Structure 1
Amino acid sequence: MRARWTRTIWQRYLLPLLFAISLITILVINSHPALSQAISRPIRGVWMTINDKDVLSDRARLQDAVSKLEQLRFNTIYPVVWNAGYAIYPSALTQTIGIQSFVYRGNDGQDMLADLIAQAHQHQLAVMPWFEFGFMTPPTSELAMQHPEWLTQKQDGSQTSESDAGEVVWLNPFHPEVQQFITNLVLEVVTNYDIDGIQFDDHMSLPREFGYDRYTTALYTKETNQSPPSPHDPEWTRWRADKISAFMTQLNQAVKQKKPNAVFSISPNYYDFAYKLHLQDWLTWVRKGIVDELIVQVYRNDLQQFLDQISRSELQEVKQKIPTGIGILAGLRNRPVPMWQIQSQARATQERGLGVAFFYYESLWDQASESVQERLSGFAQLLY
């Protein structure tokens, strides 16, 4: 009798309820392509940097590149659109604020970003424009020269720091005009191009030595009744990191309002470094639900150091919530990375249930110590 009663309850009530829940879930996912993509696909991406401009500007080379990536089972391209204070696409916005020197177009006068998107979509590859420089810009850029009031400074009044890109200055992420400029820049791309998402990296941040400009000092004093302390002070670190987090929340909302299905991707450094040294509290961003995809840059030659980084607890937490991957160095100009190192790191990453993204396109096979055929064969065995 009890078994019959239990079966009746299951058939009459629970089974229809579970069916309805499943149907609603399917409808929600299908109505949001980016959500469907984010749930179903592992990250298998590659960055296209300013060093790849020759590929991006040549339609025949770009077609060959996209075709190769599809054959090797890549699924996402992250092309640079913001570098050294310049938009790597025809930007009306940058011209309105006095950035006139460069208008990037292809060899045939084409819009390189639009061309890449069209070709990539034909090969079922997603395109997520990458705002590489974030708040960073060279001191000699038109952006820095024409808007000195947008720059922040160190406690001693100096404005520059050293980076992989050389000497740079930093736009003040707390200044409302800077926030509006970055927001407008992102929305220009989101509105004008058929993108699948956008990406920010470790430069959507601020080195902890900065924040002592007049505007930020006044704001901190107004809110705390104190003057800014030393760069290492934990409360000062938290205050600045929270301000950047608040801006990223607003930026996410602005993007989603324009294109709800756009993937909001970030590619920072590992968390302790990002937060303590660059005020980039990306773990909080994930927990607040404003990040749809995370790729942590782990550019290490030593395998044990690499394994230590990809085993960190925050990655274990995040991969339960959103697609999570590891950025792997495929090589640099004058510094090739051997295929065996790339394979060992990629396999270790995939074994841990994480996706992979490679920095950068031309170093996959064109700037390597092995032959092009050896590199292609190596990548053909790698992605699954």
Structure 2
Amino acid sequence: MRLTQSLRRWFIALLIGIATLVFSSGYQPAPATSSPPREIRGVWLTNVDSPVLFQGERLQQAVNDLAAHHFNTMYPVVWNWGYTTYPSTVAKRTIGSAVDPRPDSLQNRDMLTELVQAAHTRQIAVMPWFEFGFMAPEDSALAMRHPDWLTQKRDGSKVWQEGIYPRVWLNPLRPEVQQFIHDLLLEIVSRYDIDGIQLDDHFGLPAEFGYDRFTTALYQQEHNDRKPPSNPQDREWIRWRADKITAFTQQLFRDIKAQKSEVIFGLSPNNYRFSLNHSLQDWRRWERAGYVEELVLQVYRDSDRAFRHELRHPEVQAARRHIPVAVGILSGLRNKPVSMAQIQQQVNTVRQEKFAGVAFFFYETLWNLTPESQQQRQAGLKQLFPAAVDRVNLSI
């Protein structure tokens, strides 16, 4: 009995000593939720508020830094502001510029080739992000050259104001528009050794639009000469336009898979109700039909309650039983910092809810464009991603 009690006291003293030593050394415990054996760890790379795509050396350093912090997926923007960020023969033919002419640093180089080569060397997947979808700036060369491609509201106006920027929308029902978008995506798939492509919430149409002459005539042709409803939120009018976009998505998916079957067809939408009713994007139907092979749901919420609520919608839960569903987390904007504490909490919530991983918007706010020091941000990410893991794919 005395020997047992002595051993017990010795063991307790040993534990207290170890704990004192560890915590006095400044050790910070890792987040409570450990990382799964496979998960998507992604980040979007933009050409807005970020110079990362504009210099080869800077791009290589970004790849190295992301690899060191155990990221495994990059979503680089390839289509926005009415231009491509890679040299495109399709864009040259249609717009007049093979690549965005505004930053000189994109000229005379192929950013996407550089990125794919650098990323694959570090075992990081590359899924080019088709950010603007059917949207374009009002004063873009695309809009100026092809005014007949644009759709309009019921009052005849064509401008859709996004913050301080006046946008216009290509009509996703027009054959010429569909061919242009189709050719851009097939060009990327055929020319580059990419792992997938990603469409987002702009691959649709604001519900106020669709009152142009072409769409009105097509609707009348299919409705015994009846004109489209004056209410943009009319259920049948929403469904008819959404179904047309779905049909194009189906054809696009089939053509991409025929070109290169291993390329993942990805989508990053808003929540389903908003997507359908405000963007005519019926992603639930796309996913159930097999057109979407990876879903990264944009959940840019500050409160934990609102964040969890978005993850628990029935269509989200149904999708994650069918395909990998990751969660888009806001790591910050130029005028909206997000703390590392919030980022860690949301990543842990995603893991608790057993989703396929996370993607951060956007690269520059991981550790550069942030009020917290780079060292603090990187230390926080290392706690979340302490070791490298493979990404979750459809077949796994």
Please indicate, yes or no, whether the TM-score normalized by the shorter chain is above 0.5: yes
CA distance in structure 2 between the aligned counterparts of 1:108 and 1:247, rounded to whole angstroms: 32
**Which residue of structure 2 lines up, in the alignment, with residue 33 of structure 1?**
none
Q: How does 1:151-162 map to 2 (within 5 A)?
A: 151-162=150-161
CA distance in structure 1 between the aligned counterparts of 2:49 and 2:71, rounded to whole angstroms: 17
Q: 1:53/1:337 Cα in 2 relative to 1: closer, same or farther (>3 Å)?
A: closer
Q: How does 1:5-20 map to 2 (within 5 A)?
A: none
Per the alignment, in what secondary structure is the counterpart of residue 360 of structure 2?
Answer: strand
**Which residue of structure 2 lines up, in the alignment, with residue 3 of structure 1?**
none
**CA radius of gyration, larger in:** 2
Per the alignment, in what secondary structure is the counterpart of residue 53 of structure 2?
Answer: helix
Q: 1:210/1:149 Cα in 2 relative to 1: closer, same or farther (>3 Å)?
A: same
CA distance in structure 2 between the aligned counterparts of 1:349 and 1:165, rounded to whole angstroms: 33
Q: 1:288/1:108 Cα in 2 relative to 1: closer, same or farther (>3 Å)?
A: closer
Q: Which has the higher contact order (CA 8 A, sep 6+)?
A: 2
**Which residue of structure 1 lines up, in the alignment, with residue 129 of structure 2?**
130
**Which residue of structure 2 lines up, in the alignment, with residue 367 of structure 1?**
369
**Which residue of structure 1 lines up, in the alignment, with residue 289 of structure 2?**
288
Residues matched between the structures, number: 345
CA contact (8 A) 1:179 1:247 kept: yes
TM-score w.r.t. structure 1 length? 0.87
**Which residue of structure 2 lines up, in the alignment, with residue 338 of structure 1?**
339
CA contact (8 A) 1:131 1:200 kept: yes
- Unmatched tracts of structure 1, length 5 or more: 1-39
Q: 1:274/1:109 Cα in 2 relative to 1: closer, same or farther (>3 Å)?
A: same
**Which residue of structure 1 lines up, in the alignment, with residue 76 of structure 2?**
79
Of stretches 156-165 and 282-291 in structure 1, the one that deviates more from structure 2 is 156-165
**Which residue of structure 2 lines up, in the alignment, with residue 88 of structure 1?**
85
Q: 1:166/1:52 Cα in 2 relative to 1: closer, same or farther (>3 Å)?
A: closer
Of stretches 212-221 and 43-52 in structure 1, the one that deviates more from structure 2 is 43-52
CA distance in structure 2 between the aligned counterparts of 1:179 and 1:306, rounded to whole angstroms: 35
- 1:164 CA displacement: 4.8
Per the alignment, in what secondary structure is the counterpart of residue 51 of structure 1?
Answer: coil
- Unmatched tracts of structure 2, length 5 or more: 1-36, 387-396
Q: 1:128/1:164 Cα in 2 relative to 1: closer, same or farther (>3 Å)?
A: farther
What percentage of residue pairs aligned between the two structures are identical?
52
CA distance in structure 2 between the aligned counterparts of 1:223 and 1:179, rounded to whole angstroms: 20
Report whether the alignment pairs 1:228 with 2:225: no
Q: How does 1:303-318 map to 2 (within 5 A)?
A: 303-318=304-319
Per the alignment, in what secondary structure is the counterpart of residue 287 of structure 2?
Answer: helix
Q: Read off the aligned partner of 1:374 and give its amino acid letter.
A: Q
Per the alignment, in what secondary structure is the counterpart of residue 137 of structure 1?
Answer: strand
Q: How does 1:197-346 map to 2 (within 5 A)?
A: 197-225=196-224, 226-229=226-229, 230-346=231-347
- 1:334 CA displacement: 2.4
TM-score w.r.t. structure 2 length? 0.84
Q: Read off the aligned partner of 1:369 and give its amino acid letter.
A: P
CA distance in structure 1 between the aligned counterparts of 2:88 and 2:316, rounded to whole angstroms: 36
Residues 97-151 of structure 1: CA distance to partner in whole angstroms, max 9, x if unpaired? 2333834674794211110000000000000000000000011000001100000
**Which residue of structure 1 lines up, in the alignment, with residue 23 of structure 2?**
none
Give the aligned CA root-mean-square deviation in angstroms: 1.6
CA distance in structure 1 between the aligned counterparts of 2:106 and 2:252, rounded to whole angstroms: 33
- 1:165 CA displacement: 7.0
**Which residue of structure 1 lines up, in the alignment, with residue 5 of structure 2?**
none
